[in-house]
Amino acid sequence: MTQKPVIRCAIYTRKSSDEGLDQAFNSLDAQHEACAAYIASQRHEGWKLIPDRFDDGGLSGGTLDRPALQRLLAEIDAGRIGMVVVYKIDRLTRSLVDFGRLVERLDARGCSFVSVTQAFNTATSMGRLTLNVLLSFAQFEREVTAERIRDKIAASKKKGLWMGGALPLGYDRHPDPQRRELVVNPVEAEVVQQLFRLYADLGNLRLVEIEAERRGLRPKTLVSRTGRVRGGAPFARGQLHHLLSNPVYIGRIRHKDQTYPGQHPAIIEDGLWQEVQDKLIAASARPRGRNEATTDPRILTGKLRDEAGDLLTPTHTLKAGRRFAYYVSNRLIAGGKDPSGWRLPAAALESTFRQVVVAHLRRAATGHALLAEPEASGAADLMRRATELADQVEREPAHLGSLVASGSLAPGRLQLELVPGVIAAALEVSVAALSDSLLRVSCAFALRRRGAETRIIAGETMPAPDEVLQRTLAEAHLWARALRRGTSLTEIARKTGRSEPYIRTRIPLAFLAPKLQAAILDGRQSVHLSVAQFIREDVPLDWTEQARLFEIT
């Protein structure tokens, strides 16, 4: 007698909801037991059950993106399974399209498909016809069920019932699980009210985001069944917009584009709600990037070119809610990457140019180089007027734009052309009387890269406060005082939002030599000095050695 070839059988089980899956014997186990018994009855045909189980609990049959099903398909593709056994066909899929794909994939590997309660398999044309008919009804059932659920949700929301989903900040579920209502959480409700009042006062989501973080306002913290904690991080602007536009806070339930009176109490008064909505609508109507902070052009727009003759175009980026402006070679904007292109921080570049021009005017005044043919009789008045012009440029940064006609940057060199008419009017002389050297500024120009920061060095070295260094030094003193008061490093990290290694590497700045700290605060430190250098280098404990190492006199 010829022995039947062995057919390796795999059982696939699925349940749409996770209800009851925590029981000792659940629906998946019942399906597996029935399928195993069916396979045992076919032992004479060579069927043999493999030990691996393929169970998908709490997953819909409307998609193939299920972990156990994907593992099963991988085993089929590897040729290790010859028969897939299910309790009912809709356990495998409820979609005709997906079923067609599955049958093609199984056929390609010589694998068949069997339903225990529907006696057919995909090895015959009649079996496939029967499967298609059953799947049509399964898909119809799924779609009708979905429609019923949608209709039920719509009807329930019209009655003001809470139909589930993410709980809004300020509310909890009713303690009676049979009542689909929300109850006010007093502590969270106060947070919601503060956010609404903040937006009514500030009218800007970014400012509300910053102020909310400063006050320690946080979204709702949720703990899943697995113990995973979600929420508790500072508010993002998207979260704030969703919260401020959620009608649940005035006692209404939203369904699509309609709202209905809810069965829960309101947190926000109608007047405050309407004020916030009006401001949100007005803000959304403004073109992006065209507020007062961004419409004003940079003072050197259209006046600077790089060594290739390419115009330096003002641009900006947003990072962590902050706006950073730059002057960028136009080819970087229009054509992508170019290692020779310039990308310079706008504020630093304008400040450097202002220092260069001020120093140039003062040198020309003291050196009697203002006029082509100096006149001794009016030299004192001319020098005074030139000094006043330099003081004006130093006091009023915007005045630099009217004074600079054009400029060019090249590695190691900066050249500026000044506007003759403006200078002549300030000095009360004719344009023809001005010295050519007065109208042209030329000086050394260099960049120092410090991590993500670009430091610009041009002309004479002048005191230049380093905001990053100063802020880090101030933070180091705050953290050091907290440690002396007995606050743990972990607690400091939690309160400041910084990591422990970040704080640990920067606290030593509080113990630098007083002379070095004073230089940092006055802006007299070396242009090469940075926070990264303090962290990277082995800073000596001796204050005299520190001053020598960091070039402080």
Q: How far apart are CA 251 and CA 36, in angstroms?
A: 54
Residue 155 within any structural domain of the chain: no
Query: Which has more confidence, 65 or 336?
Result: 65
Do 218 and 339 fall into the same domain? no
Which of 192, 188, 197, 170 shows the shortest CA–CA distance to 271?
A: 197
Q: In degrees rounded to 5, what are phi and psi of residue 311?
A: -65, 140
pLDDT band at 285 (very low <50, low <70, confident <90, very high): low
Q: What is the pLDDT of residues 504-532, one digit of tens each?
A: 888 888 888 888 878 777 776 665 567 77
Percent of the chain's residues with pLDDT above 90 = 9
Shared domain check, 115 and 175: no
Integer Cα distance of 460 and 360 in angstroms? 10
Domain end position, chosen among 227, 254, 285:
285
Give the mean pLDDT of 398-419. 82
Rounded distance between C-alpha atoms, residue 234 and residue 110, angstroms: 55
In a domain, 152, yes or no: no
In a domain, 296, yes or no: no
Q: Is residue 59 part of a domain?
A: yes
Q: How many domains does the structure of the chain reveal?
A: 4
Instruction: Please write the tens of the pLDDT for every residue from 429-450.
Output: 888 888 888 888 887 766 654 4
The verdict on 472 and 529 lying in the same domain is: yes
In a domain, 1, yes or no: no
Whether residue 50 is predicted with pLDDT greater than 90 in this model: the reply is: yes
pLDDT of amino acid 293: 37
Band the pLDDT of 292: cuts 50, 70, 90. Answer: very low
432 and 386 assigned to the same domain = yes
Indicate if 486 and 520 belong to the same structural domain.
yes
Better pLDDT: 228 or 479:
479
209 lies in the same domain as 113: no
The reply to whether 450 and 359 lie within a common domain is yes
382 and 430 housed in the same domain: yes
What is the domain range of residue 488?
A: 467-549
Looking at 440, 458, 476, the residue that finishes a domain is 458
Domain membership flag for residue 151: no
pLDDT, average across residues 34-51? 91
Taking the CA atoms of residue 177, residue 183, residue 188 and residue 191 in that order, the dihedral angle to the nearest 10 degrees is 140
- Crossing angle for the helix pair 96-108 and 125-158, nearest 10 degrees? 150
Is the separation of the CB atoms in 233 and 219 below 8 Å?
Answer: yes
* DSSP one-letter code for 311: B
- Section 4-9 average pLDDT: 88
**Reported pTM:** 0.36
Q: Does the residue 149 lie in any domain?
A: no
How would you classify the pairing of strands 304-305 and 229-230? unpaired
Residues 490, 434 within the same domain: no
Task: Evaluate if residue 32 carries a pLDDT over 70.
Answer: yes
Q: What is the mean pLDDT of the chain?
A: 79
CATH no. for residue 132? 3.40.50.1390
Would you state the pLDDT for residue 190? 92
User: Is residue 190 located within the same domain as residue 310?
Assistant: no
**Greatest mean pLDDT range, 313-322, 468-477, 539-548:** 468-477
Residues 71 and 129 in one domain: yes
Band (33; pLDDT cuts 50, 70, 90): very high
pLDDT attached to residue 10: 94
> Could you tell me the CA-to-CA distances from 6 to 45, 85, 488 in Å, in that order?
8, 15, 67
Residue 49 has pLDDT above 90, yes or no: yes
pLDDT value of residue 290:
43
Same domain membership, residue 481 and residue 435: no
231 neighbors 221 (Cβ within 8 angstroms):
yes
Residue 205 lies in a domain: yes
Q: Flag whether pLDDT at 13 surpasses 90.
A: yes
Domain termination residue (choose one: 407, 439, 458): 458
Q: pLDDT at position 296, please?
A: 42
